[in-house]
Chains A and B, each alone.
Chain A
Amino acid sequence: DTAVSQTPKYLVTQMGNDKSIKCEQNLGHDTMYWYKQDSKKFLKIMFSYNNKELIINETVPNRFSPKSPDKAHLNLHINSLELGDSAVYFCASSQWDRQNEKLFFGSGTQLSVL
């Protein structure tokens, strides 16, 4: 079983649309993250949730709204998609009381905005 799973793997959409990416982890972790990797391959943290509470928000446009219905899920909703949103989005999880010793990443969602 995949530890951190994201859906969809590929997402192609038009500018201005609204889309969501889902993430689930079955590791029993209490902290989840979204990272964005752009075309230059820089991997940047966007958000972090601990037990469904937002703890990191790295100056991401408010068109991006993460939602954590429970500690095993962290979904990312993006409104009014722009060309610059094209990237690979990675979900990750860790265990907070182990000082986030290891991050486990999903396999990524490649978003292409046309």
Chain B
Amino acid sequence: DAKTTQPPSMDCAEGRAANLPCNHSTISGNEYVYWYRQIHSQGPQYIIHGLKNNETNEMASLIITEDRKSSTLILPHATLRDTAVYYCIVRVRDDKIIFGKGTRLHILP
């Protein structure tokens, strides 16, 4: 079972920052937070992951709260191509990846 809670859907205006929240209140010390997304009819795509520090790459930023019970994925300048289902996953590094229901993000023109 997924160990995360995400809102089922969100809207964001094109060009604005999209902030996707994720609650993982039962996360343990050795579990990482991973984000994937699935654009319609494609396979899921890795975005970013982190343990306790904030992380940034060319796709997004990941902000993890100090108590690690929640995190936020930030897409700094959302485009229409960012419309997708975003999955927040917690796991030990060598464990299987279990997908929950995710957040359906709509980017509005």
A contact set with B: CB distance below 8 Å: 4, 35, 41-45, 48, 56, 90, 92, 96, 99-108
Interface residues, chain B, with chain A CB atoms under 8 Å away: 36, 38, 41-46, 49, 85, 87, 93-99, 101
Q: How many A-B residue pairs have CB under 8 A?
A: 46
Q: A35 to B43, alpha carbons, bound, how many Å?
A: 10
Residues in chain A near residue B93, CB distance under 8 A: 99-101
Q: Which residue of B lies closest to A48 (CB)?
A: B96
- Pick from B36, B43, B44 the residue with the most CB of A within 10 Å: B43
When distances are taken between beta carbons in the complex, the residues of chain A under 8 Å from B101 are 41-42
A43 to B44, Cβ gap below 8 A? yes
| Contact between A45 and B97, CB atoms less than 8 A apart | yes
A-B contact pairs, 12 of them (CB 8 A): A35-B99, A42-B101, A43-B38, A45-B98, A48-B96, A90-B43, A100-B93, A103-B44, A104-B46, A105-B43, A107-B43, A108-B42
Q: Is the CB of B94 within 8 A of A100?
A: yes
In Å, the complex CA distance between A105 and B93 comes to: 18
Among B45, B94, B98, the residue within 8 A (CB) of A105 is: B45
Q: Which residues of B contact A92 (CB under 8 A)?
A: 43-44
Query: How near does chain A come to B10, taking the closest CB pair, in angstroms?
Result: 16
CA distance A97 to B46 in the complex (A): 18
Contacts of A96 in B (CB 8 A): 94
- A92's nearest neighbour on chain B, judged by CB, is B43
Is A103's CB under 8 angstroms from B42's CB?
A: no
